[in-house]
Amino acid sequence: MTMASTASNSAPVVRFAPSPTGRIHIGNARTAVFNYLFARKRGGRFVLRFDDTDLERSRAEYADAIEADLRWLGIEPDVIVRQSERFALYHAAMARLREMGRIYACYETQEELDRKRKRLAGRGLPPVYDRAGLALGEAERAALEAQGRKPHWRFRLDTEVIEWNDLARGPSRIDCSSLSDPVMVREDGAYLYTLPSVVDDIDLGVTHIIRGEDHVTNTAVQIQLFRVLSPNGAAPDFAHHNLLAAASGEGLSKRSGALSLSSLREAGVEPLAIAALAVLTGSSDNVQAVASLDELADIADVSHASHHMAKFDESELAALSARTLHAYGFEKVQARLRDLGIEGEQAEAFWLTVRPNLERLGDAPVWWPVACGDITPIVEDAGFAHAAAEVLPQEPWDASTWKTWTEAVKARTGAKGRALFHPLRLALTGRESGPELATLLPLIGRTRALARLTGG
């Protein structure tokens, strides 16, 4: 059966729904960025929903960290909700399902369920629940509860084929006869993922569910729940993108902390590089540096995602981060440079000079005293340095001064090639390599250059 969609030509509503049980990683960012770009390009709304019904494992500090990580990526949610504050909605949905006869109590222990699955496997059959709970009479249920057993509650599936047009994977179908009736509520009264998710999607008006392909098998169940709980019986459109793995092929996990956004931020990686690599890796689009999320929204599309798991390479991220940084104009980094103590009349010229040599913005302060402060020069040949000082041009200086000066030094000393340029770089910067001296020299200025050459 093909389900009707809630999506229309109006502005879409999407959601990113992490569980606050750890730090989100680059794989989580893939889902968040795909959703945000989808909404941003179409003038829609982005909902951040914390799936925190697991009250034992969910932590407020993780929720706060997730919000901070998203803001760092440039993602500002239009709405933030917490499932832990919405239990009344889930209770009401459960009551409706009971009235419709779509939910039923089951009393098997985990060990009993495991034995059933093993017996089915031994007969070569799929491990589908036998609906024994549905066959229990009132007296039988009372007797089980008298033994101290507490029920878990399952949703009774219609045995049909659910079909949908997946925006990432194309035409998709699941035969519900191959599925067990899913558990909605555990013995301890805790809600599992499925029911609260559908109830919230309906209440928040979600039109498109963009998530990882590990949720494909949940889709048929959720479509049936939308059918019975949604006012018009329609479900959102679905898109299941491929997952990211570490370069080793190992899956990513919030618990392990591998490639967490907070660790990448501490390492000085540019957030735009993370956003770009997160959604362009494992797609038909070329991985490239972008200047904004709007530019990325014009490139990335969840429909371009491969149908195979994609490996995420940290070395590729480092290179992309550097390329992203090199393309930034001064206005993009002015506030961040000020936080690093780099400001004033020379700040913009300094940035344009040093940015091609930076791997991280945090490296910029290394060059600030070279350009505009005091350093310890390295003078290997005092005679050469003094000769160079004697032909140092008068100011004003510009980008042509370096060529004019080095030609004069060459004529005075006879030095050329490395013998000419290397000792000048050491004396002027105290370093073996660095920014182009043609653009750095005017920042250093004649007074500082003369002092570094002569020790004066």
CB atoms within 10 A of CB 143: 13
Q: CA–CA separation, 309 vs 315, rounded Å?
A: 18
Does 4 reside within a domain? Answer: no
- DSSP run (H or E) holding 104: strand 103-106
**Same domain as 298, residue 406:** no
Q: Which two tokens stand for residue 140?
A: 């039988």
**Same domain as 262, residue 239:** no
Give the pLDDT confidence score for residue 253 in this predicted structure.
63
Does the global pTM surpass 0.75? yes
Give the pLDDT confidence score for residue 6 in this predicted structure.
66
CB 45 within 8 A of CB 14: yes
- Amino acid residing at 71: R
Give the pLDDT confidence score for residue 455 in this predicted structure.
86
Counted domains in the chain:
4
Give the pLDDT confidence score for residue 376 in this predicted structure.
94
**Same domain as 199, residue 57:** yes
**Same domain as 273, residue 239:** no
Does 6 reside within a domain? Answer: no
**Same domain as 141, residue 177:** yes
**Same domain as 71, residue 213:** yes
Measured over the CA atoms of residue 127, residue 133, residue 136 and residue 142, the dihedral's sign is positive
Give the pLDDT confidence score for residue 310 in this predicted structure.
87
**Same domain as 67, residue 198:** yes
**Same domain as 344, residue 314:** no
Q: CA–CA separation, 110 vs 139, rounded Å?
A: 23
CB 174 within 8 A of CB 219: yes
- C-alpha separations of 243 from 302, 307, 393, 445 in Å: 12, 9, 60, 53
**Same domain as 306, residue 237:** no
Q: What is the mean pLDDT of each run of 10 residues along the chain (456 residues)?
A: 62 97 93 98 97 91 96 97 97 97 96 94 93 95 95 97 96 96 96 96 98 95 97 96 82 65 94 96 92 95 90 89 96 97 96 96 96 94 96 95 97 96 96 95 96 89
Q: CA–CA separation, 47 vs 127, rounded Å?
A: 36
Q: CA–CA separation, 106 vs 129, rounded Å?
A: 11
The CATH number of whichever domain residue 205 belongs to comes to 3.40.50.620
The CATH number of whichever domain residue 260 belongs to comes to 1.10.1160.10
How many separate helices (H) and strands (E) can be counted in the chain?
A: 18, 12
**Same domain as 226, residue 125:** yes
